[in-house]
Amino acid sequence: MKIGKAIFRGVFVIFLLFPINGSASSAVGNMDDIARWVLTYFPKTAGSVVSMEGSDIAIDLREAHGIVEGILLTIYRESSPVYHPVTGIQLGQQEEEAGLLEVRKIGDHLIQGRLVRSGDTVRIGDLARISAARIPLGILPSGETADHFLMNELTSALTETGRFRISPLPSMTTLDEAAQKNIFYLVQVSSFQEGEALVVNLTLLNTLTGKAISDLSTKINPSDETDLVLERLQLKLFEKRKQH
């Protein structure tokens, strides 16, 4: 398995990249590049609440910060300081979560969004950011079309970024079921054979609202190094077709 993993990551070629919030582009990379593609939607950046009307809130974060529509921002405020028990040095401040905001519109100077979960009352001046903790992310096969070996490789690559808490999910899992488990995002994966190549499609979704954040389509072409991996993937797809 370790040999297969190293080969698979080294020769996975990305031909097509279709972000919903950007123009199409092409690149060459491997499974770690796919993990980095997901990672780009969760930049570590922060702003503050500058206006609000009911559940509609404006944040002073700009598009340049890397935020896109459909991403969730945690709204919080700092409370009492935290000190080192021995040295007495201030280590930081405790935080109180006030709500969870879905980004709906990105302007030149402000990001506008709507509260999808509310804890304490949100106030002007509260801070907002994509969670600094590991992002809860589910990996969801689309029906029976996504190979489990491929799913395991994706899970491993995303975990190694250090930014995500990954939960592999059964194919019949709904968005509501994932949200109830506090999994805020899903990467939905499907694959099919196209000639001698294997095409893999991924969609990044917000589970709380069903918003599709971005799509990625990749293609694996056979080569001397990939024959063993492709034969394994293609055999499983063939066996699935025989069962139906």
* The pLDDT value given to residue 109: 79
Tell me the torsion sign for CA atoms 31, 226, 223, 168: negative
* The pLDDT value given to residue 22: 42
CATH superfamily of this structure's domain 2-41+134-242: ABC-type transport auxiliary lipoprotein component (3.40.50.10610)
3-state DSSP call for residue 244?
coil
Which range, of 71-75, 91-95, 191-195, averages the lowest pLDDT? 91-95
Identify whether the C-beta of residue 44 lies closer than 8 Å to the C-beta of residue 166: no
Could you report the per-residue pLDDT of 20-71, keeping only the tens digit for each? Answer: 454 333 333 467 778 888 999 998 888 999 999 988 999 998 656 778 999 9
Average pLDDT for 224-235: 46
Average pLDDT for 163-185: 94
Q: Integer distance in angstroms from the first to the last C-alpha of the chain?
A: 29
* The pLDDT value given to residue 192: 81
* The pLDDT value given to residue 237: 52
pTM score: 0.75
CA–CA dist 237, 244 (Å, integer): 11
C-alpha triplet 99, 161, 205: angle, nearest 5°: 50
CATH 2.40.10.410 is right for the domain spanning 47-129: yes
* The pLDDT value given to residue 62: 63
Place of tokens 């519109």: 105
Measured in degrees and rounded to the nearest 5, phi and psi for residue 134 equal: -65, 135
CA–CA dist 14, 203 (Å, integer): 15
Determine how many CB atoms are found less than 10 A away from the CB of residue 171: 14
Place of tokens 């097509």: 16
Could you report the per-residue pLDDT of 100-131, keeping only the tens digit for each? Answer: 999 999 887 789 999 998 766 889 999 999 98
Average pLDDT for 155-168: 94
Residue 213 is encoded by which pair of tokens? 């954040």
Domain boundaries, the chain: 2-41+134-242, 47-129
* The pLDDT value given to residue 196: 73
**Mean pLDDT over the full length of the chain:** 77
Could you report the per-residue pLDDT of 13-28, keeping only the tens digit for each? Answer: 333 444 445 433 333 3
